[in-house]
């Protein structure tokens, strides 16, 4: 079932959990994320976004993701991640996306507000909710690099003004988080995160949760984070499975077995993350 409206976020806030938003790049990853949602009975968000289109093609990935979500027995949102192009936002909203993220974090404050307001005006009439980002998060969401922590974090006062003037439904913040894995530990500024929560009336979003300790993830959820993006863990699982199976299928040219192994590995990783972010509500284990 394709998720509609902000109920998926509101329920997470009420339960003191976070909805996992999983990056998908191809058919196998889409299938794996849906399978994980169905196995756990928990809602998920599928990220089929701007950079992901570079691999699968925009029309193809949009179609695969939306069809899989609509046909699933689980609640699955389809989300346009890290988009800076209003035309692409309009295209995805018209196609039926549940939500979009407009990324004006690279812009000066006033220009970010202008871009975000335009995205809200495009998305809301079609029932799609909008996530924006205030405070740039270092690193690359598609490639694990050793990114340095952000020097400029989200300011609670600016966050309050930004949300009030744009009408966004969720806010991605920079509180020490980075995209990808790092060689040195990453620690979130939970005091800052709590101050942002108290300053804005919308759920918060955490990008770059890869490798964060359990207590940091739990702390982020307590501080108002209702959506956590997950990418690196899935790519690690997929590549490890493919590397393990590849020698045994080279002679037979059994590419299907290779894709199947990758899909199952992603499903397993996604299930672990779903349980972890369900926290006390689910009584489940630790992140992958």
The CATH number of whichever domain residue 144 belongs to comes to: 3.20.20.70
Helix (H, G, I), strand (E, B) or coil at 32: helix
Burial class (CB in 10 A: 0-12, 13-18, 19+), 160: middle
CB atoms within 10 A of CB 218: 18
Please, what is the average pLDDT of the chain?
A: 90
Q: What is the band of 282 on the pLDDT scale with cuts at 50, 70, 90?
A: very low
Residue tagged active-site, from 81, 142, 155, 169: 81
Calculate the CA dihedral of residues 217, 221, 223, 229 and round it to 10 degrees.
70
Per the document, the length of the chain is: 288
C-alpha 35, offset from chain centre: 17
Asked if residue 191 belongs to a domain, the reply is yes
pLDDT digits (tens, 9 = 90+) for 225-252: 999 999 989 999 999 999 999 999 999 9
Asked if residue 279 belongs to a domain, the reply is no
Average pLDDT over residues 87-97: 97
pLDDT digits (tens, 9 = 90+) for 101-136: 999 998 999 999 999 999 999 999 999 999 999 987
Site of tokens 């980002």: 133
Using the Cα atoms of residue 196, residue 198, residue 201 and residue 206 in order, give the sign of their dihedral: positive
Residue numbers of the domain that contains 156:
7-231
Site of tokens 């949009």: 62
Asked if residue 181 belongs to a domain, the reply is yes
Average pLDDT over residues 14-38: 97
Q: Does residue 12 contact residue 226 with C-beta atoms inside 8 Å? A: yes
Here the tokens at position 199 are 């300053």
Asked if residue 16 belongs to a domain, the reply is yes
Q: What is the band of 138 on the pLDDT scale with cuts at 50, 70, 90?
A: low
Question: Is 81 among the residues known to form the active site?
Answer: yes
pTM of the full structure = 0.90
Q: Does residue 206 contact residue 229 with C-beta atoms inside 8 Å? A: yes
Asked if residue 261 belongs to a domain, the reply is no
Q: Which of 89-98, 176-185, 215-224 has the highest mean pLDDT?
A: 89-98
Asked if residue 215 belongs to a domain, the reply is yes
Which alpha helices (DSSP H) does 72-155 contain, by range? 86-95, 109-123
**Is residue 213 pLDDT above 50, yes or no?**
yes
Here the tokens at position 37 are 């949602």
Question: What is the total count of domains within the chain?
Answer: 1
């Amino acid at each position: 079932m394709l998720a509609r409206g902000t109920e998926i976020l509101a329920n997470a806030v009420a339960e003191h959990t976070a909805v996992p938003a999983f990056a998908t790049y191809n058919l196998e990853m889409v299938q794996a994320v849906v399978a994980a949602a169905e196995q756990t009975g928990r809602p998920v968000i599928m990220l089929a976004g701007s950079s992901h289109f570079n691999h699968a093609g925009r029309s193809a990935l949009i179609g695969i993701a939306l069809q899989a979500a609509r046909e699933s027995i689980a609640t699955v949102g389809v989300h346009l991640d890290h988009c800076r192009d209003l035309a692409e936002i309009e295209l995805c909203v018209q196609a039926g996306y549940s939500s979009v993220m407009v990324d004006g974090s690279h812009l000066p404050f006033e220009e970010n507000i202008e871009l975000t307001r335009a995205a809200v005006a495009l998305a809301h009439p079609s029932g799609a909710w909008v996530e924006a980002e205030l405070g740039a998060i270092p690193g690359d969401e598609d490639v694990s690099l050793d990114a340095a922590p952000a020097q400029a974090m989200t300011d609670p006062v600016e966050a309050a003004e930004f949300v009030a003037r744009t009408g966004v439904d969720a806010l991605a913040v920079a509180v020490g988080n980075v995209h990808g894995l790092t060689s040195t530990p990453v620690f979130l500024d939970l005091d800052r995160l709590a101050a942002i929560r108290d300053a804005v009336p919308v759920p918060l979003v955490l990008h770059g949760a890869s490798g964060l300790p359990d207590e940091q993830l739990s702390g982020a959820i307590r501080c108002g984070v209702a959506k956590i993006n997950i990418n690196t863990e899935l790519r690690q699982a997929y590549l490890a499975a493919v590397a393990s199976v590849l020698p045994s299928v080279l002679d037979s040219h059994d590419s299907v077995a290779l894709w199947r192994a990758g899909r199952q590995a992603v499903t397993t990783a996604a299930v672990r993350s779903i349980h972890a972010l369900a926290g006390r509500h689910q009584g489940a284990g630790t992140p992958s």
